[in-house]
Structure 1
Amino acid sequence: MKMLEGKVALVTGGGQGVGQGIALALAAEGAHVAVAGRTLATLEQTCGQITQRGGRALAVTCDVMDAGDIERCVSEVVDTLGGLNILVNNAQIVPLGRILDVTDEEFGKGLDSGPVATLRLMRACYPHLKGDGAVINLASSAAVRWDASGYGHYAATKEAIRALSRGAACEWGPDGIRVNVIAPHALSPGLRGWMEACPEEAAAFVRSIPLGRVGDCEDDIGRTVAFLVSDHARYLTGATIPLDGGQAYWG
């Protein structure tokens, strides 16, 4: 029997990159997977890959910065797939730039799509997760960079997510809900494009990773998430797991 047989998962930002890799890995372990995001075409591509492998998938358009859209999305997933056991908060707008350069509007989008959306989704899913639910939220090693120049706003949004995750883990443990955080390095389309455009910088980046490579979205990140939300990790909650080949030192 597969690890997640009979479970229902919701993955935001599941149309590409890390979110897609997680969705594929969850489906490979037997979960019925709903992928949510703003672009239906990319969501359907992910769902197509899942169904080609024999799984069940649902594409749900959702703007995570819209509270009403979140409520509609969760209701559609529960009504269509019969419940909800796993939530993965992956979607976020990334506010990169120096302290004096990032505008309030850009930072606000990072907050609204990051910690605020994460909180809203956890609240909306809470009644359905009670009993045997698992949540995975995404953080970033940008928060522990020795040189945080250009990453302050982004790190702030991700650290807020970590704080909310820890609070939820402590408050919801008695309800049978586990909440953990991952901080991944993964070969998403965006990172792949940067590596191809800036080969020297990319080579230096890879050299800084003890395992000598950037993680694969499905095989390295997705499979670990599948383990974390399974009963094999049933005693783990409130933790941040760095999936970065050993690069960052969280202390």
Structure 2
Amino acid sequence: MPGLRGKAALITGAGQGIGQGIALALASEGVDLLLAGRTLQKVEETARLAASRGVRAIPAACDVKSSTDLAAAVDSAVAEFGGIDILVNNAQEVPLGPIDQVTDEAFTAGFESGPLASFRLMKLVHPHMAKRGGGTIFNFASSAGIRWDMSNYACYGAIKQATRALTRGAAAEWGRDNIRVLTIAPHAESPGLKAWIEHNPDEAEAFFRTIPLGRVGRLEEDIGRAIVALCGPDLGYLTGATIPLDGGQANFD
């Protein structure tokens, strides 16, 4: 992608799944990476794979529920790369189940790892992006927030809808700094989705029937490459939107 080589990205949840797929897609375009994840060994492996594509890739142990860890990750990226051009707020703990069975702790952890972590990182990277003339921020939502039947998904959906509101607000407030903020709502071959399919085979079968393309997205080829495209100049007029990368399933209108 023209213009991405030499830029720097910070990706949370980069040790596996969607975060790793995005990291590898960006590495293929020459983007240097600060790879944050709760398990250092996993992000070290992603860093090894990314570095083999010719970029600098720095692994960092990071619990996104810790404001100290988030600040340290941003400081490391700025120290290593001189700034941050792309932020991918991918990490998320998911509270699923009936409302009366989701604990306060699980609901709080969902907010802390989701919208609160995104909120904190967005504020931390904003001055660095503004100084470099702009940047692109990706937050993550889910079609779980707009299901016609919210049974068992109310807590998860509430968290993801809060993230969408943050995206809209930041896009409005930071557009004049040339910082674009987008929400991605993916279906992808992540460990989390694979585990859900394994534990909910009947619901999973029905789920696949509702995807017009008949499959979930590939981590690097479908989700990562879409992120690459969205960072590029051809889509530079797009901000504040929720973009479903889900094979045509959800209707966010």
Pairwise TM-score range, normalised by the shorter structure: over 0.9
Partner of 1:76: 76
Paired residue type of 2:250: A
1:83 deviates by: 1.5
Shift of 1:216: 0.6
Contact 1:2/1:30 (8 A) holds in 2: no
1:209 counterpart residue number: 211
Q: CA deviation at 1:207?
A: 1.7
Q: Secondary structure at the match of 1:148?
A: coil
Superposed CA offset, 1:19-47 (max 9, x none): 11111111111111111011100001111
TM-score, structure 2 as length reference: 0.95
Deviation at 1:181, TM superposition (A): 0.6
> What does residue 27 of structure 1 align with?
27
Which is worse superposed, 154-163 or 198-207?
Answer: 198-207
The alpha-carbon deviation at position 109 of structure 1 amounts to: 0.6
Superposition pairs of residues 1-251 of structure 1, within 5 angstroms: 2-130=2-130, 131-196=133-198, 199-251=201-253
For the aligned residue pairs, the C-alpha RMSD in angstroms reads 1.4
Give the distance between the partners of 1:5 and 1:59, measured in 2 at CA: 20
Deviation for aligned residue 1:218: 0.8
Secondary structure at 1:100's aligned position in 2? helix
Task: Name the SS of the counterpart of 2:138 in structure 1.
Answer: strand
Q: For the Cα contact (< 8 Å) 1:111–1:157, is it kept in 2?
A: yes
Give 3-state SS (helix, strand or coil) of 2:181's partner: strand
Q: Deviation at 1:2?
A: 4.3
Q: Distance in 2 between matches of 1:216 and 1:2?
A: 23
Unaligned runs of 5+ in 2: none
* Greater alpha carbon shift after TM alignment, 27-36 vs 1-10: 1-10
Q: In the TM superposition, what whole-angstrom CA distance separates every residue of 1:71-127 from its partner, at most 9, and x where no partner exists?
A: 111001110122110000000110111111111111111111111110000000011
- Measured after TM superposition, the shift of residue 199 of structure 1 is 4.8
Q: How many angstroms apart in 1 are the aligned matches of 2:218 and 2:126? A: 30
What letter is aligned with 2:128? H
1:243 & 1:155 partners in 2: Cα distance? 17
Q: Cα–Cα, structure 1 residues 188 and 10, in superposed 2: closer, same or farther, change >3 Å?
A: same
Moved more, 53-62 or 78-87: 53-62
Distance 2:124 2:216 in 1: 34
Shift of 1:172: 0.2
d(CA) in 2 for partners of 1:199 and 1:156? 25
Is the 2:9–2:86 Cα contact (8 Å) retained in structure 1?
yes
SS of the residue corresponding to residue 30 of structure 2 reads coil
Contact 1:181 1:238 (8 Å CA) reproduced: yes
What is the SS of the residue equivalent to 1:223? helix
TM-score, normalised to structure 1's length? 0.96
Identical-pair percentage: 57
Does the CA-based 8 Å contact 2:95-2:110 persist in structure 1? yes
Moved over 6 A (4+): none
